[in-house]
A and B are shown apart, each in its own frame.
Chain A
Amino acid sequence: MEILSHCLLMAALASVFQKRKGLTIAAFLVALGVAALTLRLQMTVNLPLEF
């Protein structure tokens, strides 16, 4: 999941340099969504709060 979000980040940066606005926003939002999903999974699997 972390690798996927980093690949999407690279896609977002590449489309910034190519000045493709739609692709930039799409890659950025999907990367952010994958990062949010990763955080949710990590909270459940690896790092639950233990009070």
Chain B
Amino acid sequence: MRALRLIGPVGYLAVHLEILVLCMVLLGAFGVQLIEGALPCPLCVLQRLGMMLAATGAAYILVKWQDGELSPLDYMTGHGMIILAALGGASASIRQILLHILPGDAGYGNPFMGLHLYSWAFLVFVCLIGSSAICVVFGHWFLEGRARPGWWSRATLGLLAILILANTANILLLQGFHFLLPDDPPRYELLYDLGIKKP
């Protein structure tokens, strides 16, 4: 029983951690875009979308948990959403890795700590699948833990909501009135589509 008291809160914290790690990665991607001026390619956008969808799965668990309404079924639904979103995002990462796998190819964008951002994204998706699998395997222990809702839970959910809104505004600016995002986008198309900027 003592072990349960120790392990229980880990499940509640792990959900926060999953959302916060994904938010940090998304903030880092925004940083690269705004500071280095490297606009995201369509595959980068799909990887960001995969991370936000995975974070939505974690948010589903967190919202239910902090209100004391989390059932084992909801817990499995949330982690299933995380795994599905991570599989979708990982397929975009793998596609981008394959595009630049030939020797001599410099890759897209600048590497960070020796790896390109899409390689890091693939590692993030693999870790997400692993962490969700662990949470489901030990779910009967984690679900024993009582939620400790507070400002940190609201702040975590608020940060995620702000980042999803910012990413949607970003994609609206990048894509403009076009059906698909262009390969290697050179500019914010909406500004040109509305005539705010002249080509």
* Chains A and B belong together in one complex: yes
Specify which chain B residues have a CB less than 8 angstroms from the CB of A51 in the assembled complex: 102
| B116, CB-defined interface residue at 8 Å | no
- Determine which of B64, B88, B99, B167 lies in contact with A36 in the assembled complex, contact meaning CB atoms within 8 Å: B88
With both chains docked as a complex, state the minimum distance between the C-beta of B110 and any C-beta of chain A, in angstroms.
19
Q: Are A6 and B53 in touch, CB under 8 angstroms?
A: no
A19 to B186, CA, bound (A): 40
Number of interface residues of A (CB under 8 A): 31
Q: Enumerate A1-51 residues with CB–CB distance to B below 8 Å.
A: 1-3, 5-7, 9-10, 12-13, 16-17, 19, 21, 24-25, 28, 31-32, 35-36, 38-39, 41-43, 45-47, 49, 51
CB distance from A50 to the nearest CB of B (A): 8
Knowing A13-B56, A28-B53, A39-B92, say if A3 contacts B46 (CB, 8 Å). Answer: no
In angstroms, Cα B102 to Cα A49, docked, is 11
Chain A nearest CB from B21 CB (Å) reads 18
What secondary structure prevails in chain A residues at the interface with B? helix
B180 at the interface (CB under 8 A from A): yes
* Residue in B56, B99, B171, B180 whose CB lies within 8 Å of A16: B56
Among residues of A, the one whose C-beta sits closest to the C-beta of B170 is A6
The interface of chain B, by Cβ under 8 A from chain A, is 41-43, 45-46, 49-50, 52-53, 56-57, 59-60, 63-64, 67, 69, 74, 77, 81, 84-85, 88, 91-92, 95, 98-99, 102, 157, 160-161, 164-165, 167-168, 171-172, 175, 179-183
Q: List 23 A-B contacts (CB under 8 A).
A: A3-B171, A6-B49, A6-B172, A9-B164, A10-B164, A13-B59, A13-B160, A16-B59, A16-B63, A31-B53, A35-B49, A35-B53, A38-B46, A39-B92, A41-B180, A42-B43, A42-B180, A43-B95, A46-B42, A46-B182, A47-B43, A49-B98, A51-B102
